[in-house]
Structure 1
Amino acid sequence: MRITPAEAAIIGTSLGATGTLTAAWMTQRATARRERERRLWDRRTDTYADLMTTIHVLAQDRARTEHTGERPDDQSRTAAARESAGALAARVELYSSEHLRSACERSFTCTDIWVRAWEEWHQRGTGVRLKSPRDRKWQTFTERVAASQEADSRLLGLLLADVHGERAKRKKRRLRRLLGIRVTVTTARSVSQGKEVLAKKPRPDSDHG
Protein backbone atom coordinates (compact mmCIF):
# COMPACT_ATOMS: atom_id res chain seq x y z
CA MET A 1 0.00 0.00 0.00
CA ARG A 2 1.44 3.32 -1.08
CA ILE A 3 1.14 6.53 0.91
CA THR A 4 0.37 9.64 -1.06
CA PRO A 5 2.23 12.87 -0.33
CA ALA A 6 -0.93 14.31 1.24
CA GLU A 7 -1.32 11.32 3.53
CA ALA A 8 2.34 11.45 4.47
CA ALA A 9 2.01 15.13 5.32
CA ILE A 10 -1.01 14.40 7.52
CA ILE A 11 0.84 11.58 9.26
CA GLY A 12 3.88 13.78 9.78
CA THR A 13 1.77 16.58 11.20
CA SER A 14 -0.01 14.15 13.53
CA LEU A 15 3.27 12.71 14.75
CA GLY A 16 4.69 16.16 15.29
CA ALA A 17 1.62 17.22 17.26
CA THR A 18 1.81 14.03 19.30
CA GLY A 19 5.46 14.70 20.06
CA THR A 20 4.67 18.26 21.13
CA LEU A 21 1.81 17.14 23.38
CA THR A 22 3.96 14.38 24.87
CA ALA A 23 6.76 16.81 25.59
CA ALA A 24 4.32 19.28 27.18
CA TRP A 25 2.81 16.52 29.32
CA MET A 26 6.23 15.31 30.43
CA THR A 27 7.32 18.86 31.22
CA GLN A 28 4.20 19.46 33.33
CA ARG A 29 4.62 16.17 35.11
CA ALA A 30 8.30 16.87 35.78
CA THR A 31 7.43 20.33 37.09
CA ALA A 32 4.85 18.89 39.51
CA ARG A 33 7.33 16.26 40.67
CA ARG A 34 10.03 18.87 41.19
CA GLU A 35 7.62 20.98 43.24
CA ARG A 36 6.77 18.01 45.48
CA GLU A 37 10.45 17.19 45.86
CA ARG A 38 11.24 20.82 46.67
CA ARG A 39 8.58 20.97 49.40
CA LEU A 40 9.83 17.70 50.89
CA TRP A 41 13.42 18.91 50.69
CA ASP A 42 12.51 22.18 52.45
CA ARG A 43 10.83 20.31 55.30
CA ARG A 44 13.78 17.96 55.51
CA THR A 45 16.39 20.73 55.70
CA ASP A 46 14.29 22.60 58.27
CA THR A 47 14.23 19.45 60.39
CA TYR A 48 17.98 19.01 60.05
CA ALA A 49 18.60 22.65 60.98
CA ASP A 50 16.45 22.32 64.12
CA LEU A 51 18.19 19.05 64.98
CA MET A 52 21.67 20.54 64.65
CA THR A 53 20.66 23.52 66.80
CA THR A 54 19.38 21.18 69.50
CA ILE A 55 22.53 19.07 69.40
CA HIS A 56 24.64 22.22 69.70
CA VAL A 57 22.75 23.38 72.80
CA LEU A 58 23.08 19.97 74.46
CA ALA A 59 26.77 19.74 73.53
CA GLN A 60 27.46 23.14 75.12
CA ASP A 61 25.77 22.01 78.32
CA ARG A 62 27.73 18.77 78.30
CA ALA A 63 31.09 20.50 77.77
CA ARG A 64 30.37 23.08 80.50
CA THR A 65 29.34 20.38 82.95
CA GLU A 66 32.43 18.29 82.29
CA HIS A 67 34.70 21.33 82.63
CA THR A 68 33.22 22.79 85.83
CA GLY A 69 31.51 19.80 87.41
CA GLU A 70 28.37 21.91 87.78
CA ARG A 71 25.23 22.50 85.77
CA PRO A 72 24.25 26.13 85.08
CA ASP A 73 21.49 27.62 87.22
CA ASP A 74 19.47 28.57 84.17
CA GLN A 75 18.56 25.31 82.48
CA SER A 76 15.75 26.72 80.32
CA ARG A 77 17.53 26.33 76.96
CA THR A 78 18.82 22.87 77.78
CA ALA A 79 15.45 21.76 79.12
CA ALA A 80 13.70 23.01 75.98
CA ALA A 81 16.25 21.21 73.80
CA ARG A 82 15.76 17.93 75.67
CA GLU A 83 11.98 18.27 75.52
CA SER A 84 12.13 18.74 71.74
CA ALA A 85 14.08 15.50 71.28
CA GLY A 86 11.04 13.28 70.80
CA ALA A 87 9.40 15.56 68.25
CA LEU A 88 12.65 15.93 66.33
CA ALA A 89 13.19 12.17 66.20
CA ALA A 90 9.66 11.78 64.80
CA ARG A 91 10.32 14.44 62.14
CA VAL A 92 13.59 12.76 61.18
CA GLU A 93 11.75 9.45 60.83
CA LEU A 94 9.12 11.13 58.63
CA TYR A 95 11.46 12.95 56.26
CA SER A 96 14.64 10.89 56.37
CA SER A 97 15.97 7.34 56.71
CA GLU A 98 15.76 4.66 59.37
CA HIS A 99 19.50 4.64 60.12
CA LEU A 100 19.50 8.41 60.60
CA ARG A 101 16.51 8.19 62.94
CA SER A 102 18.33 5.51 64.94
CA ALA A 103 21.41 7.74 65.17
CA CYS A 104 19.20 10.60 66.33
CA GLU A 105 17.62 8.51 69.08
CA ARG A 106 21.04 7.21 70.10
CA SER A 107 22.34 10.76 70.46
CA PHE A 108 19.44 11.83 72.68
CA THR A 109 19.65 8.63 74.74
CA CYS A 110 23.35 9.22 75.38
CA THR A 111 22.51 12.73 76.59
CA ASP A 112 20.08 11.31 79.15
CA ILE A 113 22.71 8.79 80.25
CA TRP A 114 25.48 11.31 80.91
CA VAL A 115 23.05 13.58 82.78
CA ARG A 116 22.08 10.68 85.07
CA ALA A 117 25.75 9.82 85.58
CA TRP A 118 26.48 13.41 86.58
CA GLU A 119 23.52 13.42 89.00
CA GLU A 120 24.80 10.23 90.66
CA TRP A 121 28.21 11.82 91.08
CA HIS A 122 26.92 15.22 92.19
CA GLN A 123 24.47 14.00 94.84
CA ARG A 124 27.29 12.53 96.93
CA GLY A 125 28.06 15.94 98.41
CA THR A 126 31.02 18.31 98.20
CA GLY A 127 32.98 16.54 100.89
CA VAL A 128 32.86 13.17 99.14
CA ARG A 129 32.81 13.67 95.40
CA LEU A 130 36.01 14.32 93.48
CA LYS A 131 36.36 15.79 90.01
CA SER A 132 39.08 13.32 89.30
CA PRO A 133 39.64 9.93 87.63
CA ARG A 134 40.22 8.60 91.15
CA ASP A 135 36.51 9.07 91.80
CA ARG A 136 34.74 6.09 90.26
CA LYS A 137 31.49 7.95 89.67
CA TRP A 138 33.29 10.86 88.03
CA GLN A 139 35.12 8.38 85.82
CA THR A 140 31.77 6.85 84.85
CA PHE A 141 30.45 10.32 84.07
CA THR A 142 33.39 11.14 81.76
CA GLU A 143 32.95 7.82 79.98
CA ARG A 144 29.28 8.64 79.38
CA VAL A 145 30.30 12.06 78.09
CA ALA A 146 32.71 10.46 75.60
CA ALA A 147 29.97 8.09 74.40
CA SER A 148 27.62 11.05 73.95
CA GLN A 149 30.23 12.96 71.95
CA GLU A 150 30.76 9.95 69.71
CA ALA A 151 27.01 9.56 69.14
CA ASP A 152 26.70 13.25 68.23
CA SER A 153 29.63 13.02 65.82
CA ARG A 154 28.09 10.04 64.06
CA LEU A 155 24.71 11.75 63.79
CA LEU A 156 26.18 14.97 62.41
CA GLY A 157 28.27 12.98 59.93
CA LEU A 158 25.16 11.18 58.68
CA LEU A 159 23.28 14.48 58.41
CA LEU A 160 25.98 16.11 56.31
CA ALA A 161 26.40 13.03 54.11
CA ASP A 162 22.65 12.86 53.58
CA VAL A 163 22.41 16.55 52.65
CA HIS A 164 25.31 16.47 50.20
CA GLY A 165 24.28 13.10 48.77
CA GLU A 166 20.69 14.22 48.25
CA ARG A 167 21.83 17.36 46.46
CA ALA A 168 23.91 15.27 44.07
CA LYS A 169 20.99 12.90 43.44
CA ARG A 170 18.63 15.81 42.80
CA LYS A 171 21.02 17.18 40.17
CA LYS A 172 21.22 13.78 38.47
CA ARG A 173 17.44 13.43 38.47
CA ARG A 174 17.02 16.87 36.91
CA LEU A 175 19.53 15.96 34.20
CA ARG A 176 17.79 12.66 33.46
CA ARG A 177 14.41 14.36 33.21
CA LEU A 178 15.81 17.01 30.89
CA LEU A 179 17.45 14.41 28.69
CA GLY A 180 14.26 12.34 28.64
CA ILE A 181 12.21 15.28 27.38
CA ARG A 182 14.77 16.12 24.72
CA VAL A 183 14.93 12.52 23.51
CA THR A 184 11.14 12.32 23.26
CA VAL A 185 10.84 15.54 21.29
CA THR A 186 13.76 14.68 19.04
CA THR A 187 12.42 11.20 18.32
CA ALA A 188 8.96 12.51 17.47
CA ARG A 189 10.38 15.15 15.18
CA SER A 190 12.72 12.68 13.52
CA VAL A 191 9.85 10.31 12.77
CA SER A 192 7.76 13.17 11.41
CA GLN A 193 10.58 14.43 9.22
CA GLY A 194 11.31 10.91 8.04
CA LYS A 195 7.74 10.45 6.89
CA GLU A 196 7.88 13.72 5.01
CA VAL A 197 11.13 12.73 3.31
CA LEU A 198 9.68 9.37 2.31
CA ALA A 199 6.61 11.08 0.89
CA LYS A 200 8.74 13.42 -1.22
CA LYS A 201 10.91 10.67 -2.68
CA PRO A 202 9.98 9.80 -6.29
CA ARG A 203 8.31 6.42 -6.47
CA PRO A 204 9.79 3.93 -8.95
CA ASP A 205 7.69 3.59 -12.11
CA SER A 206 6.24 0.10 -12.15
CA ASP A 207 5.91 0.27 -15.97
CA HIS A 208 9.67 0.46 -16.43
CA GLY A 209 11.55 -2.74 -15.87
Structure 2
Amino acid sequence: MAHTAGGTALTPAMKIAIAVIGVLVVAGIVVIAMLNTAGRDGAEAPPSSAPTTAVAPPTTPGPLPGATPTTGSEVPPPTAAPGTGLPPLAAAEPLVAAPLPKSGSRDGGLVAGFPTSVAEPMEDSDVVSTSIATENTAMQVSLVSSTTTALDEIRAHYRALWTSLGLREQPGDDSTMAFTGEFESLTLNVRTTGTGNMYTIFGVLRTE
Protein backbone atom coordinates (compact mmCIF):
# COMPACT_ATOMS: atom_id res chain seq x y z
CA MET A 1 0.00 0.00 0.00
CA ALA A 2 1.40 3.44 -0.88
CA HIS A 3 1.23 6.47 1.62
CA THR A 4 1.19 10.22 0.81
CA ALA A 5 2.62 12.93 2.87
CA GLY A 6 -0.82 14.54 3.79
CA GLY A 7 -2.72 11.38 4.90
CA THR A 8 -4.06 8.15 3.68
CA ALA A 9 -5.50 8.17 0.13
CA LEU A 10 -8.85 6.34 -0.54
CA THR A 11 -8.52 3.32 -2.65
CA PRO A 12 -10.98 2.56 -5.41
CA ALA A 13 -12.51 -0.24 -3.36
CA MET A 14 -13.19 2.09 -0.42
CA LYS A 15 -14.88 4.62 -2.70
CA ILE A 16 -17.20 1.94 -4.06
CA ALA A 17 -18.12 0.81 -0.55
CA ILE A 18 -18.92 4.36 0.58
CA ALA A 19 -21.11 4.90 -2.51
CA VAL A 20 -23.03 1.69 -1.86
CA ILE A 21 -23.63 2.64 1.79
CA GLY A 22 -24.94 6.06 0.71
CA VAL A 23 -27.35 4.51 -1.73
CA LEU A 24 -28.67 2.13 0.95
CA VAL A 25 -29.21 4.99 3.41
CA VAL A 26 -31.15 7.03 0.88
CA ALA A 27 -33.26 3.99 -0.06
CA GLY A 28 -34.06 3.34 3.59
CA ILE A 29 -35.15 6.92 4.14
CA VAL A 30 -37.47 6.73 1.12
CA VAL A 31 -39.04 3.45 2.32
CA ILE A 32 -39.64 4.83 5.82
CA ALA A 33 -41.27 7.95 4.38
CA MET A 34 -43.57 5.86 2.20
CA LEU A 35 -44.64 3.69 5.15
CA ASN A 36 -45.45 6.75 7.27
CA THR A 37 -47.55 8.26 4.47
CA ALA A 38 -49.53 5.03 4.00
CA GLY A 39 -50.19 4.82 7.74
CA ARG A 40 -51.57 8.37 7.89
CA ASP A 41 -53.81 7.78 4.87
CA GLY A 42 -55.26 4.66 6.48
CA ALA A 43 -55.88 6.45 9.80
CA GLU A 44 -57.56 9.45 8.19
CA ALA A 45 -59.87 7.51 5.82
CA PRO A 46 -63.51 7.77 7.11
CA PRO A 47 -65.21 4.51 7.98
CA SER A 48 -67.54 3.24 5.32
CA SER A 49 -71.25 3.61 6.17
CA ALA A 50 -74.13 1.39 5.20
CA PRO A 51 -75.96 2.55 2.11
CA THR A 52 -79.16 4.53 2.85
CA THR A 53 -82.47 4.00 1.13
CA ALA A 54 -84.01 7.11 -0.41
CA VAL A 55 -87.69 7.76 0.45
CA ALA A 56 -89.78 8.10 -2.66
CA PRO A 57 -92.12 11.12 -2.81
CA PRO A 58 -95.89 10.45 -2.66
CA THR A 59 -97.35 9.35 -5.95
CA THR A 60 -100.29 11.75 -5.56
CA PRO A 61 -99.03 15.16 -4.46
CA GLY A 62 -101.40 17.57 -2.74
CA PRO A 63 -102.30 20.97 -4.14
CA LEU A 64 -99.58 23.57 -4.12
CA PRO A 65 -100.01 26.65 -1.93
CA GLY A 66 -101.83 29.38 -3.84
CA ALA A 67 -103.02 26.98 -6.54
CA THR A 68 -106.45 27.64 -8.08
CA PRO A 69 -109.00 25.05 -6.86
CA THR A 70 -110.38 22.78 -9.53
CA THR A 71 -113.43 20.58 -9.65
CA GLY A 72 -113.06 17.76 -7.15
CA SER A 73 -110.20 19.43 -5.27
CA GLU A 74 -112.37 20.80 -2.47
CA VAL A 75 -114.09 18.84 0.27
CA PRO A 76 -117.86 19.29 -0.02
CA PRO A 77 -119.56 20.86 3.01
CA PRO A 78 -121.52 18.50 5.28
CA THR A 79 -125.11 18.10 4.35
CA ALA A 80 -127.70 19.60 6.67
CA ALA A 81 -129.58 17.27 8.97
CA PRO A 82 -132.90 16.24 7.46
CA GLY A 83 -135.81 18.15 8.91
CA THR A 84 -139.17 16.79 9.92
CA GLY A 85 -140.82 18.29 6.83
CA LEU A 86 -143.60 19.76 8.99
CA PRO A 87 -144.25 23.50 9.18
CA PRO A 88 -143.70 25.17 12.57
CA LEU A 89 -146.72 25.30 14.83
CA ALA A 90 -148.53 28.61 14.90
CA ALA A 91 -148.54 30.51 18.17
CA ALA A 92 -151.69 29.95 20.22
CA GLU A 93 -154.24 32.75 20.24
CA PRO A 94 -156.77 33.40 23.02
CA LEU A 95 -160.32 32.28 22.22
CA VAL A 96 -161.75 35.50 23.68
CA ALA A 97 -160.59 39.09 23.32
CA ALA A 98 -160.86 42.25 25.35
CA PRO A 99 -163.03 43.97 26.29
CA LEU A 100 -164.77 41.18 28.20
CA PRO A 101 -168.53 41.32 28.83
CA LYS A 102 -169.96 42.40 32.16
CA SER A 103 -170.62 39.81 34.83
CA GLY A 104 -174.19 38.50 34.86
CA SER A 105 -176.46 35.46 34.87
CA ARG A 106 -179.73 34.32 33.32
CA ASP A 107 -182.16 31.46 33.89
CA GLY A 108 -183.73 29.76 30.89
CA GLY A 109 -181.47 31.39 28.28
CA LEU A 110 -178.07 32.83 27.40
CA VAL A 111 -176.74 35.77 29.39
CA ALA A 112 -175.53 38.75 27.36
CA GLY A 113 -172.01 38.27 26.09
CA PHE A 114 -171.99 34.49 26.57
CA PRO A 115 -169.14 32.97 24.43
CA THR A 116 -171.17 30.75 22.13
CA SER A 117 -168.14 30.04 19.92
CA VAL A 118 -166.65 28.11 22.84
CA ALA A 119 -169.61 26.80 24.87
CA GLU A 120 -172.74 27.04 22.72
CA PRO A 121 -175.55 24.70 23.86
CA MET A 122 -176.38 21.74 21.63
CA GLU A 123 -179.43 21.72 19.40
CA ASP A 124 -182.55 20.23 20.98
CA SER A 125 -181.31 21.38 24.37
CA ASP A 126 -183.22 23.36 26.99
CA VAL A 127 -180.99 25.93 28.65
CA VAL A 128 -181.48 25.85 32.40
CA SER A 129 -179.05 28.67 33.29
CA THR A 130 -175.97 30.55 32.16
CA SER A 131 -173.57 32.89 33.93
CA ILE A 132 -170.51 35.07 33.35
CA ALA A 133 -168.06 36.43 35.92
CA THR A 134 -165.26 38.66 34.64
CA GLU A 135 -162.20 40.03 36.43
CA ASN A 136 -159.33 41.83 34.69
CA THR A 137 -158.30 39.58 31.77
CA ALA A 138 -160.18 36.43 32.90
CA MET A 139 -163.77 35.32 32.44
CA GLN A 140 -165.57 32.41 34.13
CA VAL A 141 -168.56 30.94 32.29
CA SER A 142 -171.09 28.24 33.08
CA LEU A 143 -173.89 26.56 31.12
CA VAL A 144 -176.46 24.09 32.43
CA SER A 145 -178.73 22.38 29.87
CA SER A 146 -181.02 19.38 29.62
CA THR A 147 -181.52 17.20 26.54
CA THR A 148 -182.70 13.84 25.35
CA THR A 149 -179.44 13.30 23.42
CA ALA A 150 -177.38 10.30 24.55
CA LEU A 151 -174.47 10.94 26.90
CA ASP A 152 -171.89 9.62 24.42
CA GLU A 153 -173.23 11.96 21.73
CA ILE A 154 -172.94 14.92 24.09
CA ARG A 155 -169.31 14.04 24.82
CA ALA A 156 -168.56 13.53 21.11
CA HIS A 157 -170.09 16.91 20.21
CA TYR A 158 -167.98 18.96 22.62
CA ARG A 159 -164.85 16.86 22.07
CA ALA A 160 -165.03 17.67 18.35
CA LEU A 161 -165.75 21.36 19.03
CA TRP A 162 -162.92 21.92 21.52
CA THR A 163 -160.43 19.90 19.51
CA SER A 164 -161.18 22.05 16.46
CA LEU A 165 -160.36 25.11 18.59
CA GLY A 166 -156.88 23.74 19.31
CA LEU A 167 -157.57 22.59 22.87
CA ARG A 168 -156.05 19.40 24.29
CA GLU A 169 -158.01 16.73 26.14
CA GLN A 170 -156.86 15.90 29.66
CA PRO A 171 -157.46 12.73 31.69
CA GLY A 172 -161.02 12.49 33.04
CA ASP A 173 -163.62 9.94 34.09
CA ASP A 174 -166.90 8.56 32.78
CA SER A 175 -168.89 11.63 33.78
CA THR A 176 -166.37 14.45 33.23
CA MET A 177 -163.97 15.37 30.47
CA ALA A 178 -161.54 18.30 30.47
CA PHE A 179 -159.81 20.32 27.76
CA THR A 180 -157.08 22.94 28.14
CA GLY A 181 -155.31 25.47 25.96
CA GLU A 182 -152.71 28.17 26.37
CA PHE A 183 -155.36 30.57 27.71
CA GLU A 184 -158.36 28.28 28.38
CA SER A 185 -159.65 25.57 30.68
CA LEU A 186 -163.01 23.84 30.01
CA THR A 187 -164.85 20.92 31.62
CA LEU A 188 -167.97 19.03 30.62
CA ASN A 189 -170.00 17.02 33.11
CA VAL A 190 -172.86 14.77 31.98
CA ARG A 191 -175.41 12.83 34.03
CA THR A 192 -178.78 11.17 33.67
CA THR A 193 -181.88 12.62 35.34
CA GLY A 194 -185.48 11.48 35.66
CA THR A 195 -186.52 13.52 32.60
CA GLY A 196 -183.48 13.03 30.33
CA ASN A 197 -179.81 13.92 30.41
CA MET A 198 -178.19 16.96 31.95
CA TYR A 199 -174.86 18.48 30.96
CA THR A 200 -172.90 21.29 32.59
CA ILE A 201 -170.04 23.27 31.08
CA PHE A 202 -167.69 25.29 33.23
CA GLY A 203 -164.81 27.29 31.77
CA VAL A 204 -162.13 29.86 32.47
CA LEU A 205 -161.14 31.97 29.47
CA ARG A 206 -158.36 34.57 29.42
CA THR A 207 -157.52 37.28 26.93
CA GLU A 208 -153.73 37.06 27.53
Instruction: Place the TM-score, normalised by the shorter chain, in its bin.
Output: under 0.3
User: When you count strand as a share of all residues, which structure comes out higher?
Assistant: 2
TM-score w.r.t. structure 2 length? Answer: 0.25
Higher RCO, Cα 8 Å, sep 6+ = 1
- Asked which structure has the greater CA Rg, the reply is 2
From the two aligned structures, give the one with the greater helix fraction: 1
